[in-house]
Amino acid sequence: MSASSNAIESVLVENRVFPPADSVVKAARVSGMAGYEALCAEANKDPEGFWARLAREHLQWTKPFTQTLDESKAPFYQWFADGELNASANCLDKHMGTPVENKAAILFEADDGTVTQVTYRQLLERVSQFANALKAHGVQQGDRVLIYMPMGVEGVVAMQACARIGATHSVVFGGFSAKALNERIIDAGAVAVITANYQLRGGKELPLKAIVDEGLSMGGCDSIKNVFVYQRTATACDMVAGRDKTFSEILAGQSTECPPTPVGAEHPLFILYTSGSTGKPKGVQHSTGGYLLWAKVTMEWTFDIRPDDVFWCTADIGWITGHTYVAYGPLAAGATQVVFEGVPTYPNAGRFWQMIERHKVTVFYTAPTAIRSLIKAADSDESVHPKNWDLSSLRILGSVGEPINPEAWMWYYRHVGGERCPIVDTFWQTENGGHVITPLPGATPLVPGSCTLPLPGIQAAIVDETGKDLPNGAGGMLVIKRPWPSMIRTIWGDPERFKKSYFPEELGGTTYLAGDGAVRSADRGYFRITGRIDDVLNVSGHRMGTMEIESALVAKTDLVAEAAVVGRPDDLTGEAICAFVVLKRSRPTGEEAKQIATELRNWVAKEIGPIAKPKDIRFGDNLPKTRSGKIMRRLLRSIAKGEPITQDTSTLENPAILDQLAQSN
């Protein structure tokens, strides 16, 4: 558990500061640093009183809570535990009879550019009808429902419908494989799968239902009673009689009214699987009350959301960002949001800018990887440069998922934001539920590449391995010292792993360990995230466990004897996956090596999903190991980067292997 010194060294010394314009400060909900500091002071003085006030102001409770925080079973913290509410009612029903009722909830832009508008009233009716269909098929409060859907209104409806009847959803990103689906279905004990026949991305029709069929056929999925299939395209897919039903079949005759089921505030709203340091993904369990409070509050704090905003978060609902800032936050805030089915580069790399112009987007939230790839495209083709579109509707830009390098930040600021829009570089994790360290657009002076300061009530700190606070300027481990409402509640089915992963005894057992390295600037105390300190990679903003990829590689038992996976920096994707592989046969070279590498990449795509395909695969007769047989990953990281080996190699069993691995590529 030590922060990588390389990562810290690579942090640029950044002196540019961009304070928000006076007009922005004046108009903002949290106005100026004084506004931010007042909230922090309130939260620090009486944290429980602070959260209780917000929970009463922002959420509608069918049964009010009397206790704000229950720490008696720490680190299994409980928030608002005796209160009852329904998440869907807080996103939809509460707007009925207000000016929001007939405003657009979703502006859906399909892959081919077709736009459909759904008002809050219509969305409520569709969610209610779907909720009735789920009930009619035996889905009950507390059941888990797996969602494997394309981006679109139906995916949001499916999630909201589960929430409406108190079923816990688990969304799996459409880029995961049949095997990954199978594992998640089994782990969650899901009773139903909601999917589509196909998804449309970049002009291509990609199967979803066929992957579900394959996942279910792998065994262990007896808990699944129903598969509900949205027919996104006209192409037919196989349907298993008795088990599979189309949306039109299940919705026919269902009422568009469905009273929301009140659940306890701690009721699991969803489970979302994410990668950790072991081969097995973790089912991050979130609550209903605390989670929803955070989704709503951060829409207001971080995005300063207003009634006339058009909000667009480009994340897929398969990731946490798509949960908090597509499926729940914007709806809880009564905002109009754009939901996009396709990819940023189709039909060309001007798609995002064209869509911002078309929908008059005011708040735009995307990932550094997308920005970097669009910079590259604009550099080589002027016609897709953002200057070709009218982006004057924009007022706030956001970044999420990985560190944004200052160069990309500056381009985003200049060419997309016209030097007038603050960029909120939001740091958070699946486990956090929503933003935890981020600038506030009308308050925080911005420094490119820095996520700046914690939100009010978030006791973020940087500590060493013993839990001791480190001074500004010193790199260490990022922790959060006090619980907050939207924090992870447990790892589904594995409370011991929850404690070990996030609340290690070395840090006292009640301090949340983020798993990221960070450093605070000497002058302002601003946080900069320096990258993961565990065996997790961040590739294009997607979290991948090195052990997961290693397990996938060695599962190819006819070919692979051993594998070690590390990350290396990549200009476009942030990090790239680099695999060192020892085959069961002699080490291949030349064409043959290329061929086997392709075979292994395709294998990993089948085992986990295309997003986990290693970029580099190097073959060796062996891996660098200590005499006790431990693989020396830090040496592999240097080789992957193409750096000379400067570390001590005296404990190495087989030093000659380093040259061989450095040469093979």
Is 398 known as a binding-site position? Answer: no
Q: Among 110-118, 187-195, 394-402, 644-652, which window interacts with ligand WTA (CB under 6 A)? A: 394-402
The rounded distance, in Å, linking the Cα atoms of 619 and 247 is: 48
Taking the complex as a whole, how short is the minimal distance between the CB of residue 399 and ligand WTA, in angstroms?
6
Which listed residue (212, 320, 361, 544) binds ligand WTA by CB under 6 A?
320
* Minimum CB distance to ligand WTA smaller for 166 or for 417: 417
CB count, 10 Å around CB of 31? 18
362 touches ligand WTA (CB under 6 A): no
The rounded distance, in Å, linking the Cα atoms of 264 and 556 is: 45
Q: Among 168-176, 209-217, 426-434, 459-467, which window interacts with ligand WTA (CB under 6 A)? A: 426-434
Is 83 known as a binding-site position? Answer: no
* Minimum CB distance to ligand WTA smaller for 221 or for 320: 320
244 touches ligand WTA (CB under 6 A): no
402 touches ligand WTA (CB under 6 A): yes
CB 231 within 8 Å of CB 196: yes
429 touches ligand WTA (CB under 6 A): yes
Helix (H) or strand (E) holding 273: strand 270-274
| β-sheet with 363-366: strand ranges across | 115-119, 104-109, 336-340, 310-313, 363-366, 396-400, 423-426
The residues in 497-516 that bind ligand WTA, with binding defined as CB under 6 A, are 515-516
401 touches ligand WTA (CB under 6 A): yes
**Cα dihedral sign for 315, 318, 324, 330?**
positive
In a 13 Å sphere around the CA of 594, the CA atoms on its Cβ side amount to 2
Is 532 known as a binding-site position? Answer: yes
529 touches ligand WTA (CB under 6 A): yes
In a 13 Å sphere around the CA of 147, the CA atoms on its Cβ side amount to 30
Find tokens 């999903």 and name the residue. Answer: 609
168 touches ligand WTA (CB under 6 A): no
274 touches ligand WTA (CB under 6 A): yes
Which listed residue (303, 428, 492, 526) binds ligand WTA by CB under 6 A?
428
Which listed residue (128, 132, 168, 321) binds ligand WTA by CB under 6 A?
321
The rounded distance, in Å, linking the Cα atoms of 565 and 577 is: 7
The rounded distance, in Å, linking the Cα atoms of 541 and 641 is: 19
Find how far residue 117's CA is from the centre of its chain: 26
Is 430 known as a binding-site position? Answer: yes
179 touches ligand WTA (CB under 6 A): no
* Minimum CB distance to ligand WTA smaller for 427 or for 619: 427
Taking the complex as a whole, how short is the minimal distance between the CB of residue 272 and ligand WTA, in angstroms?
9
47 touches ligand WTA (CB under 6 A): no
Helix (H) or strand (E) holding 562: strand 560-570
573 touches ligand WTA (CB under 6 A): no
Lay out the site mask for ligand WTA across 447-466 (x = CB under 6 A, - = otherwise): ----x---------------
Which listed residue (543, 556, 601, 613) binds ligand WTA by CB under 6 A?
543
314 touches ligand WTA (CB under 6 A): no
The region, left, alpha or beta by phi > 0 then psi within -120 to 50, assigned to residue 70 is beta
Taking the complex as a whole, how short is the minimal distance between the CB of residue 195 and ligand WTA, in angstroms?
22
Taking the complex as a whole, how short is the minimal distance between the CB of residue 35 and ligand WTA, in angstroms?
22
7 touches ligand WTA (CB under 6 A): no
Please report, as a single letter, which amino acid is at residue 555.
A
Is 401 known as a binding-site position? Answer: yes
Is 584 known as a binding-site position? Answer: no
Burial string for 358-381 (b: 16+ CB within 10 Å, else e) reads: bbbbbbbbbbbbbbbbbbebbeee
Which listed residue (168, 501, 538, 664) binds ligand WTA by CB under 6 A?
538
Q: Which residue's Cβ has the minimum distance to ligand WTA?
A: 430
* Minimum CB distance to ligand WTA smaller for 95 or for 435: 435
Taking the complex as a whole, how short is the minimal distance between the CB of residue 296 and ligand WTA, in angstroms?
17
Phi, psi of 492, rounded to the nearest 5 degrees: -50, 120
- The Cα-based distances of 663 to 129, 292, 595, 640, 657 in angstroms read 61, 52, 18, 11, 10
359 touches ligand WTA (CB under 6 A): no
Phi, psi of 516, rounded to the nearest 5 degrees: -115, 150
The rounded distance, in Å, linking the Cα atoms of 345 and 386 is: 13
302 touches ligand WTA (CB under 6 A): no
The rounded distance, in Å, linking the Cα atoms of 607 and 461 is: 38
- By CB atoms closer than 10 A (0-12, 13-18, 19+), residue 233 is middle
- By CB atoms closer than 10 A (0-12, 13-18, 19+), residue 569 is middle
Q: Among 213-221, 423-431, 440-448, 453-461, which window interacts with ligand WTA (CB under 6 A)? A: 423-431
Chain contacts with ligand WTA (rule: CB under 6 A): 274, 319-321, 400-403, 425-430, 451, 515-516, 529, 532, 538, 543
- Binding residues are 201-204, 321, 401-403, 425-430, 516, 532, 540, 543, 554, 560
